[in-house]
Homo-oligomer: A and B are copies of this chain.
Amino acid sequence: MAVNLYIPSESDIHPVAGVQIGAAEAGIRKANHRDLTVFRLAEGSSVAGVFTLNRFRAAPVQVCETHLAAGQGIRALVINTGNANAGTGESGLQAATQTCVELANILDIKPQQVLPFSTGVILEPLPLDRLVAALPQAVADTADNNWFMAAHSIMTTDTQPKIVSRRVALGNNTITITGISKGAGMIRPNMATMLGFLATDAGIAPELLTDMVRSIANLSFNRITVDGDTSTNDSFIVMATGQSAVRIESVSDPLYAPLYKALAEAATELAQKIVRDAEGATKFMTVHVEQAKTPEEALKVAYSVAQSPLVKTAFYASDPNLGRILCAIGYAGIADLDVSGVNLWLGDVMVASQGGRHPNYQEEDGQRVMQQAEIPMRIALGRGEASETVYTCDFSHEYVTINADYRS
């Protein structure tokens, strides 16, 4: 039961010139599910990505980094669900590499021009034979207008497809931005999220795109948390096919800023959709921390609150047990925090001032905000100018049910 997750109708999704997508049933983990997705990219596309900082990086993440560094020009992506190909050692690396070799053979490109992605159960061998056997079908299926299907194909415990699509006027031209993501659990991205793919027909110089994708990830996928578990497979990819008339070579281009803004907004929407459809989520919470000394400090406090099981269960119950928020601020690791400077608002209700209960705070007011599906929280630390925002959800019985039964 996703929280206010907007799903565009299929007819509102704009294909991106230079991107074709196909999918097939490989039976990686379960039958009767399109668990294998292939993206084909026009020659000359720029592709950049950011990946998990988990030390147990999945084999496909390692191969992605190698292939991006090879600089041969990425021409295809291959994504499987049902198996993360993580914690699989040397044989996992070989399986990810071989996946690229097989797809490259079919498409008549180099293996280094393929990026592989996997999501699913960790510590189980990837069934390479079944994956490879389904590749020709996925390639045969590729078409411009398959974004909606792809958003479904990459889902695991997601209940809804996550997709953004928009047309943006840039100067005298109009470009298209369309993207998909998946998430649901094991979500505290560290450089990127579980899987996010964003494409545009704008042209963007490769080095510039590399800088942009890092910066955009920091504004979007690196600002969400469901359960604090940074996955082994987090990957966020931006593809710029250059099939429109727009081409950006540097930050000094007057169209750079509006293009950056459009891509960042699309990425933020994709990231927020992951929170809205998080495992068991019934509420969407925005934790905004301001008056911090540094952005790092603001993030520490925001994540401490956003990840507290006690805060999250109180929100689930619509119980304004708001002392739990102060408690989480207090253990966020700011050794010299003077709590008498801390103020807290829930929506427009001032809950705590000068480190204690605000004199005018009434429990009914807190209760009213807690019952909303979208809950904004604002924490002022009273010690500086920095601010940061993190998006999270509540913690429900359903989260436990889903994760206790994930593999069955």
Taking CB atoms, residues of chain B closer than 8 Å to A354 are: 89
Q: Report yes or no: A327 in contact with B89, Cβ–Cβ below 8 A.
A: no
Q: Which of A158-166, A256-264, A315-323 sits within the interface?
A: A315-323
Q: Does A214 contact B (CB under 8 A)?
A: no
A133-144 CB mask vs B (1 if < 8 Å, else 0) is: 000000000000
Q: Does A245 contact B (CB under 8 A)?
A: no
**Which of B185, B319, B352, B357 meets A408, CB within 8 Å?**
B319
Query: Which of A123, A319, A334 neighbours the largest number of chain B CB atoms within 10 Å of its CB?
Result: A123
Q: Report yes or no: A90 in contact with B327, Cβ–Cβ below 8 A.
A: no
Chain A at the B interface: SS class: loop
Complex CA gap A322/B322 in Å reads 35
Q: Report yes or no: A396 in contact with B406, Cβ–Cβ below 8 A.
A: no
**Which of B84, B310, B356 meets A185, CB within 8 Å?**
B310
Q: Report yes or no: A339 in contact with B405, Cβ–Cβ below 8 A.
A: no
Q: Which of A97-105, A172-180, A198-206, A222-230 sits within the interface?
A: A222-230
- Residues on A facing B (Cβ under 8 Å): 53-57, 84, 86-92, 121-125, 185-186, 188, 190, 227-232, 307-310, 313-314, 316-317, 319, 321-324, 326-332, 334-335, 337, 339-340, 351-352, 354-357, 395-397, 399-401, 403-408
- Show 18 residue pairs from A and B whose CB-CB distance is below 8 angstroms, ordered by the A residue: A54-B327, A55-B329, A55-B331, A55-B337, A56-B355, A87-B352, A121-B323, A122-B324, A123-B326, A124-B357, A229-B327, A229-B331, A309-B399, A313-B404, A316-B400, A319-B406, A319-B408, A395-B400
